[in-house]
Amino acid sequence: MSKMSYRDAIRSALREALRDDPRVFLMGEDVGGYGGAFKVSHGLLEEFGPERVRDTPLSENTFLGAGIGAALGGMRPIVEIMTVNFSLLALDQIVNNAATLRHMSGGQLSVPLVVRMTTGGGRQLAAQHSHSLEGWFAHIPGIKIVVPAVAADARGLFLAALRDPDPVFIFEHATLYPVEGEVDEQAGPAEIGRALVRRAGDAVSVITYGGTLGKALQAADELAVDGIQAEVIDLRSLRPLDTETILASVARTHRAVIVDEGWRTCSFAAEVSARIMEGGFYSLDAPVARVCSAEVPMPYAKHMEDAALPQVPAIVGAVRAMLGSHG
- Give the binding site for another protein (CB under 8 A): 25, 51-52, 54, 56-57, 59, 61-75, 77, 92-93, 96-97, 101-110, 141-142, 144, 165-166, 192-193, 239-240, 254, 281-287, 289-290, 318, 320-322, 324, 326
Query: In this complex, which beta carbon is closest to another protein, that of residue 186 or of residue 227?
Result: 227
Q: Which residues of 149-171 are buried (b: 16+ CB within 10 A; e: fewer)?
A: bbbbbbbbbbbbbbebebbbbbb
Q: How far is the CB of 193 from another protein (least distance, A)?
A: 5
Residue 131: C-alpha distances to residues 240, 275, 279, 310 (Å): 22, 24, 30, 13
Using CA atoms, how far apart are residues 216 and 209, in angstroms rounded to an integer? Answer: 9
Of 80, 129, 172, 305, which is the active-site residue?
A: 129
Residue 249: C-alpha distances to residues 98, 196, 252, 258 (Å): 34, 10, 5, 13
Query: In this complex, which beta carbon is closest to another protein, that of residue 179 or of residue 248?
Result: 248
Q: How far is the CB of 187 from another protein (least distance, A)?
A: 22
- CA dihedral for 219, 310, 84, 113, sign (positive or negative): positive
Q: How far is the CB of 100 from another protein (least distance, A)?
A: 9
Of 16, 42, 46, 60, which is the active-site residue?
A: 60
Residue 161 identity:
A
Q: Is 91 exposed, middle or buried (0-12, 13-18, 19+ CB in 10 A)?
A: middle
Using CA atoms, how far apart are residues 88 and 82, in angstroms rounded to an integer? Answer: 11
Q: How far is the CB of 77 from another protein (least distance, A)?
A: 8
Query: In this complex, which beta carbon is closest to another protein, that of residue 106 or of residue 227?
Result: 106
Q: Is 108 exposed, middle or buried (0-12, 13-18, 19+ CB in 10 A)?
A: exposed
Residue 129 among the catalytic residues: yes
222 SS3 class: helix
Query: In this complex, which beta carbon is closest to another protein, that of residue 164 or of residue 261?
Result: 164
- DSSP bridge partners of 291: 259
Query: In this complex, which beta carbon is closest to another protein, that of residue 52 or of residue 215?
Result: 52
Residue 60 among the catalytic residues: yes
Give which of 309, 275, 269 is closest to 289, Cα–Cα: 269
Query: In this complex, which beta carbon is closest to another protein, that of residue 56 or of residue 293?
Result: 56
Using CA atoms, how far apart are residues 299 and 126, in angstroms rounded to an integer? Answer: 5
What number of CA atoms fall less than 13 Å from residue 110's CA on the CB side?
9
Q: Residue 270 belongs to what H/E stretch?
A: helix 268-280
What are the residue numbers of the active site?
60, 129
